[in-house]
Amino acid sequence: MIKKLVSHGNSAALIIDKPILQLLKVDIDTAFEITTDGKNLIISPVEDAKREKKFRATLEKVNKGHGKTLKKLAG
C-alpha cells in the first residue's frame, strides 16, 4: 500500500485505514511511538499505559473481593 501525507494545519498527517487499525487492535485513542532507523519511519502502538491501567483496575477488583483470602494464603 502506498500512502501520501496530507496537509493538517501547519503539519503533515498520514491517514491509516480502518482495516489496518483493526488488524493492529488500535483506535483513535491509542498512543504511538515514532522512531526511525535513519531511513525508515517506524510507528509502533504504545500498549503499556493502557494495559497497565486495565491491569491495576482488575487487580483492585480482585483485592476487594478476595483480599482477605489472598492474605491468608500468602501468610
What is the phi/psi pair of residue 66, to 5°? -135, 15
What is the phi/psi pair of residue 23, to 5°? -60, -40
What average pLDDT does the chain have?
89
pLDDT at position 14, please? 94
Average pLDDT of the residues in 20-31: 89
Average pLDDT of the residues in 16-43: 92
More confident residue, 18 or 54: 18
Indicate if the pLDDT at residue 53 is higher than 90: no
pTM exceeds cut of 0.75? no
Question: What one-character-per-residue DSSP string does 17-57 give?
Answer: -HHHHHHHT--TT-EEEEEE-SSSEEEEEE-HHHHHHHHHH
Indicate if the pLDDT at residue 72 is higher than 90: no
Which domains are present in the chain? Answer: 6-74 (2.10.260)
